A and B are shown apart, each in its own frame.
Chain A
Amino acid sequence: MALKLPIFMDSQSTTPVDPRVLEAMIPYFTQKFGHPASRNHPFGWEAEAAVDRARGAIAGLIGARDPKELVFTSGGTESINLALKGVAEMYREKGNHIVTSVIEQRAGLDVCKRLERQGFEVTYVPVGADGLVDPEALRAALTEKTILVSVMLANNEIGTVQDAAAIGKLAKEKGIVFHTDATQAVGKVPVDVEAMGIDLLSCTSHMLYGPKGVGALYVRRKNPRVRLAPMIDGGGHERGMRSGTVPVPLTVGFGAAAEICREVMPEESRRLAGLRDRLQDAILSKVDEAYLNGHPDRRLPHNLNISFAYVEGESVLMGLNKEVALSSGSACTSATLEPSYVISALGVDSELAHSSIRFGLHRFSTEEEVDFVGRRTVDVVTRLREMSPLYELAKEGVDLKTIKWKAE
C-alpha cells in the first residue's frame, strides 16, 4: 500500500473517529433526534435508551458496577473540573487539602491553582525518573485535612501508567476520595474502577476513536458514595451533577467507541506495542545520545517519547511536519522558553527537556508509516546535529556543564 502523507502520529492529542462509530451516530442526527429527558413520547424514550446503552458500554469498559455511576460531560477537561471543584465544594467542611502530582495534565493543575486561590491547600507530589508517583510519598503528603487525592492514570507525554491500585488502596484506608484523570488510559489499557479503588474517573471520547465534544465522569455510588457539587445548574440531568441536554449523537458515538475498544484492546495493544518498539529500535539504534523518557515497561502501548541530545525539539518537528504530525515537549513560543514540565519533573537536564519528541500511534497506524517516520526522524536529527554548536562541543570532548553560558 502506498504511503499517504502526512502521517498522523499525535494520538495523545486526539484520535480519528472509527468509521463504525460514525455509522452508529448518523441516525441520531436527523431521525432519532429526541431529547433523552423527554419522558412522555417515543422520541424521548428512544433517545434515552440510546444514551443508557452508551452509558452501559462505557461502564463495561472501566469496570463500573452500575452504568448510573457515569455522568456525561463535554469532555475530559470538564470532567476534571467537575471532579476537583465538585469535591472541593462538597467536602469543604471536612477539610481543605488536596494531594496531586506534578505531572498532571494542564486541566488538573489549573483547577488546583484556582482552588488554591480560593483557600484550598494543594500538595504536588514529585515523580521518579520513570514518571511514577511513589505511593509512600503520597501517604506522607496526606494530612487530617486531606479530602481528595488526584493522580492521573497515564501521562499524556511520557505514557507512564501509575500504580492506581496502590493509590486507591491508600485513599480507601484513609477515607479520602481518589480521582484519576484516565483520559489517555481508557480504551488503551485495562482500567477497573473496582479493582483499582477509583472513586472518580475522568475520560473523553475523542481519545478512543469517538467524536470530540463528549466525555464522562465516573462517580462511585457505593463504598463510599461520592457526592459532588454541580458546576452547571439547570434541569437536573445526569443525577443532578451535570445539567444540560445530553448530546445524543456524540454520546452514542462514545458508547460505540467504548464497545469497540473493549473488544479489540488485547489484540490492538499488542500490535501497537510491537509497532512502538519497532519505531523505538529504529531510532535508538541509529542515533547516539537519544534517550527514552518515562517508564520502559509501565507505559501506554502506543506512546513513545524520546529526547535527542544537542537538538531542540521544535526544530526537529519543523523538519518533519510536512510529512508527520508529532508533538514536542519543547514550547519555544514564550519569553520564558520553558521546556516540558513533565520531562523536567523526571529530573533530566533541561536541555534534554527541550529536545523531547512524542510519537503517538493509533488504531490505523501501519508498519510502513512507522518505518518511514523512523527513517525521517533519524535524518532530521542527524542534519540538525551537524549544525548544532552543542554537538560540536561535545564531540570535541568539552563538558557542556563546564561552560559559563551567557543566558539572557
Chain B
Amino acid sequence: MIETEEKFSAKKFWRELAKGIVLTNPVFVLVLGLCPTLAVTTSVNNALGMGAGVIFVLLGSNIIISLIRKITPNMVRIPVFIVVIAAFVTILSLLFEAYLPPLYESLGIYLPLIVVNCIILGRAEVFASKNPVLLSMADGIGVGLGFTVSLIIISFLREVLGTGSLVIFGKKLFAIPVLSQSPLSIFIMPPGAFIVIALLMALFRLLGVLKNE
C-alpha cells in the first residue's frame, strides 16, 4: 500500500516538474517575469546566475508557504507570502554579495527585484498555498527551470550575436571569426532584447499553430 502511494507521488512529482518547464513555460507561454528576462540576458553568465537565484527563492518560498498553508489566515495570505519571498531574496542577496561579488555587481538592482517577480508570487498563490510540500517543491523546481531555460535561450542568442563569442564563468567557449571582429552590438543593448524576445515569442506561436493544424 505504502509502496504504491510512493510510486504515485513520484509520478506526480515528475509530471509537475515537466509541466513547469514545457507546457506552462513562464516566459514564452505565460509571459510572466518580463523585467529580469530582458534586463539580465546580456550574457549567458548573468542568465545562469539569475536563473539559479530564482530557483533558490522559488523553492524556498514554495516549501515554507506550503508548510504554513494550514495556519495562514486567508485574509492576510498575500502579505505573508510577500514577506516569506522577501526574506529568501534577502538571504540570496547576502549570499551573492559574499560569495559571488562579480555576479552580484552585474545583476545590480535586478537581484532584489526578484521579490516582485510575478512568477514567484503567482506560484505561491496558485500552487504552494494549496498543495503538500513535495509537490510544491517539484512545482518550484519545474517552473524555476522553465524560467532558467528561457533566460539561457535568450541570452545565448543575444551574447553570440552581440559579441560574436560565448564566455561562461570567465572561459571563452568559442568565437565566430567574422562576427567577433564586427559584432552586431545592438543585440546586447536594450532594443536587441525586445527584438529577440518578440521573434522567439512569434516562433513559439508559429510552432503552436503548425501543430494545431
Q: Bound pair: A and B? A: no
